[in-house]
Homo-oligomer: A and B are copies of this chain.
Amino acid sequence: MTDTTETDDERRHREKMAKRKAVQDAEVASKTVESKGLLIVHTGAGKGKSTAAFGLVMRALGYGWQVGVVQFIKGAWDTGEKHALERFPELVRWHTMGEGFTWETQDKARDIAAASAAWTKAKELMADPTVRLLVLDELNIALRYDYLDLADVVATLSARRPDLHVVVTGRNAKPEMIEAADLVTEMTLVKHHFKAGVKAQQGIEF
């Protein structure tokens, strides 16, 4: 849109945005791999790792995809998520294998057994060709405490079906996991209301 009434400011804006669009278009055109199941990692000490994974789940359900969720540690997803997923009973397989945060249990043998059972469930879901998105929530925590064999987990995830997206969450992702991943986001805590003495809020934190 150029006409004689355009001001200098409008022209500068238009030219800047046209350049931005050219860069964007060139970037999109440079991509050649059409379809690939991604290994996505959400890590870091900030909020939003499991919530963003849950957002991906809900979007996938919106597309009518079959989705699997395995929770390695109980607690990150709760009543709100459960009720939302219940609106898609035909599409979701959700398994909570963990026994609560590990510092609640203080029983290593039980934690290892729960992590192994969760990993077995994860492998079942990976082998099911109808599943298009699989979330392994807090898997990084199970790996951090050496509840599972890291090399085995990374090799199995890397050998996933080409059309399966896998999302792994949890702080302290291992370097080997990051190396194997296609997309890694670190959620960094910039500011938290706990510091102002505010309790965890329903609907936001649980």
Contacts and interface: CB of A to CB of B under 8 A. Distances in A.
B51 A56 contact: yes
B108 A202 contact: no
A188 interface: yes
Nearest to A194: B31
Contacts of A184: 189-191
A9 interface: yes
Contact of A47 (B59, B79, B185): B185
A29 B185 CA distance: 31
Given A27-B194, A28-B200, A43-B190, 8 more contacts: A18-B106, A20-B103, A28-B199, A33-B199, A47-B52, A61-B84, A62-B81, A65-B203
19 contacts: A10-B108, A13-B108, A17-B106, A20-B103, A24-B103, A48-B187, A59-B84, A60-B80, A61-B84, A62-B80, A63-B80, A63-B83, A63-B202, A65-B203, A178-B190, A182-B193, A183-B192, A184-B190, A187-B188
